[in-house]
Structure 1
């Protein structure tokens, strides 16, 4: 299976719990708990911990600009990076790099002790507002944003056209509900599709369910206390779970999410017609569906759209080079860097200037039939508005999310009915012994 590092990272963190440049950086200096970057304290090298490929000129340009070598401590996936970071934070910084890439899904856990991180200077008007909010703790910026994952739906218009339900992006948007699209209308479209087709509507409902969870304001935990809600009494999650589980029972899903060993083969075998596709996944689909024509991205998304994924560069306060580490984090997240990352890895930028850059907005994607994906995902991000920030994510968000998405997989595999799967999820949750809210 052709599967990039970024894909493996997102898949792994989702299971456990998943952009240089010619200009000088805009922030400069260290924040609270950090030193100033000066010629006197300039190190020979800086280290950055990450699990994704860097644009070829990115680190070389920083070294040329400042005379500091940048060494990437590369991890095979986000889960490995998370483990090393967690261990380092619990042992006074042992083994940590100067700069760490932190995934949104485990951001709250890593930031549980704000003093572990350098306060980063504000850089006005660089990012979409909600990205800055996500990267802050109690109003203090501790992470500079890299990518965002505005949500879209990739679909194969050849498959939907053959089925007689939609022949192009406009008709597909209407098929799943148009401007009033909801998850219910999307899943009902799936039922209609499988009734007239010999393949599945979607690769995995567990992935779609995760996207739906991201749109809830406080899916699993109380924002005031941080404590998990009692899952047995969580009516919003139970209702959403049953909506997706019943669609799984109706057989609209192949039950093969990104990260599964058969995901790439599923594209090659034309096993499904749609995939919930945050911006970072478009390039991964193009890689895995290489040679299979007809794939497009719809500008319509259920419930108005949202965000899945995204990361931040943050600076541990125990580092010996915090001032220069802040300079590096700033440099890695400039608009120019974001454009380079978009073309290298397909990551969609959170930087306003980069989103509007014609090099992103007007670039035609050959695999997706010449669609301007930068413009499509930019419009999807704008349409989502504040919802793109996602809901509250406490320290236990990722783990509880894993429990409930695994319940959808039980139904997809035929191992349980929707009610049996929900009961199993609740039982597993109760076995964890949380001190719950209320």
Structure 2
């Protein structure tokens, strides 16, 4: 399988992480303190940045040319590895941390549990969409500068949907899944109609689609006031959503092969499925894995009006020796000009307002997707989602609980359990964790 380090959003597929947060220890210059200032007297020879995706080479070279500071990327194979190193570093007084760290949205709350561990970042007016700044703040203090966002779309293969007699282009596909009034139920019913007339599956993985659906809920797993997890057995909203997807899985709508699975790339090459839930950062990954397979397009319609999946932030640990210059680097890496470079290097859709409107993004034609202007398509999807794209509350245990529940969908996809048995298994695993749950 050809699966490269293409985006921050891939970390959303990380292996189930530890749910109990180790207490973090703080250093000087944390949130509220502002950290040191960048001056010629304290300018280092080198800064380090921890991340798991490809950097535009010109971006790092231009920073070195402007400031005379070399930037070394501490590269990780995936977001889960970066998360583990960061968690361990925070619990040991900053040992082994880089000057700047990339932090993915789904584990942002855990890493920010002790905001004094992080340098307060100066406000930069009118750079980002408002909700991205809110996501990157703790109690109103900015601790992360935003990189990408992940407006949600549906990639589909028009050759396969045409052969099945259901859709020939983005417009007719959008109508097939429900148009402007599309819901998850209408999307899954479209899947049932597709598999009834086709020899392949409708979607690569319903566990992935379910994760996208969870991202749209205002408070999926935890109480926003206390931060405590809801008792999963009593969480009717999640159970109803789970059963909706699990029943579609039982009906054979999905191949049960999510991104990250060893057979995901081969599935594209073998034309095993016709659609993929595709946040903006995944489009480039699909193009690479489906190389040589014609017909892939992205629809402008999405269930429940659209939303967001993924996105990351650059943050500066307060224990670093070069916090002032590290802040300047985080600023540099998240400018509108940098966002345009990220878009062309990795396919990331920007959170920066000027970059979103830049013709270099909105008017760029994507050869793999039949000349579609994906920047324009995803810009429209982001606008349709509006503030709801910010997603719901994500507490310290959000990522772990989400993975646990999503794995239940996988049980049904694999034929290992009925929807009812899979839900019972998920609840049992949750209860074994021994949480003090919200009243």
1:310 is matched with 311
For residues 9-408 of structure 1, the aligned pairs below 5 Å read 10=10, 13-17=13-17, 32-408=33-409
2:425 is matched with 424
Q: CA deviation at 1:10?
A: 1.3
Per-residue CA distance 1:54-106 (angstroms, 9 max, x = gap): 00111111011011111111111111110110011011101001000001110
SS at match of 2:277: strand
Q: CA deviation at 1:33?
A: 3.8
Pick closer, same or farther for the CA change 1:279–1:373 going to 2, 3 Å.
Answer: same
Within 2, Cα distance between the matches of 1:131 and 1:141?
11
Within 2, Cα distance between the matches of 1:8 and 1:247?
29
SS at match of 1:121: coil
SS at match of 1:5: coil
Within 2, Cα distance between the matches of 1:296 and 1:217?
30
Q: CA deviation at 1:8?
A: 9.3
Within 2, Cα distance between the matches of 1:370 and 1:9?
24
SS at match of 2:3: coil
Pick closer, same or farther for the CA change 1:257–1:188 going to 2, 3 Å.
Answer: same
- Stretches of structure 1 lacking an aligned partner (at least 5 in a row): 18-28
Q: Is the 8 A contact 2:16 2:404 kept in 1?
A: no
Q: CA deviation at 1:6?
A: 2.8
Pick closer, same or farther for the CA change 1:413–1:13 going to 2, 3 Å.
Answer: closer
Per-residue CA distance 1:131-168 (angstroms, 9 max, x = gap): 00100000100000001100000000000001000011
Pick closer, same or farther for the CA change 1:349–1:358 going to 2, 3 Å.
Answer: same
Within 2, Cα distance between the matches of 1:396 and 1:12?
13
Within 2, Cα distance between the matches of 1:122 and 1:194?
51
Within 1, Cα distance between the matches of 2:33 and 2:108?
19
TM (norm. structure 2) is 0.96
Q: Is the 8 A contact 1:144 1:329 kept in 2?
A: yes
Within 1, Cα distance between the matches of 2:275 and 2:249?
14
Q: Is the 8 A contact 1:11 1:258 kept in 2?
A: no
Q: CA deviation at 1:14?
A: 3.7
Per-residue CA distance 1:335-385 (angstroms, 9 max, x = gap): 000000100111111000001000000000011010000000011011101
Within 1, Cα distance between the matches of 2:15 and 2:270?
25
Which stretches of structure 1, 4 residues or more, deviate above 6 A after TM superposition? none
Per-residue CA distance 1:238-257 (angstroms, 9 max, x = gap): 00000000000000000000
Q: Is the 8 A contact 2:149 2:311 kept in 1?
A: yes
Per-residue CA distance 1:116-135 (angstroms, 9 max, x = gap): 00000000000011100100
Q: Is the 8 A contact 1:165 1:175 kept in 2?
A: yes
Q: Is the 8 A contact 2:255 2:273 kept in 1?
A: yes
1:6 is matched with 6
Within 1, Cα distance between the matches of 2:311 and 2:191?
28
Q: Is the 8 A contact 1:7 1:259 kept in 2?
A: no
Q: Is the 8 A contact 1:9 1:51 kept in 2?
A: no
TM (norm. structure 1) is 0.96
Q: CA deviation at 1:386?
A: 1.1
Q: Is the 8 A contact 1:214 1:307 kept in 2?
A: yes
Q: Is the 8 A contact 2:136 2:143 kept in 1?
A: yes
Q: Number of residue pairs matched? A: 427
1:25 is matched with none
Within 1, Cα distance between the matches of 2:284 and 2:85?
28
Within 1, Cα distance between the matches of 2:11 and 2:151?
17
Q: Is the 8 A contact 1:145 1:312 kept in 2?
A: yes
- Stretches of structure 2 lacking an aligned partner (at least 5 in a row): 18-28
2:25 is matched with none
SS at match of 1:179: helix
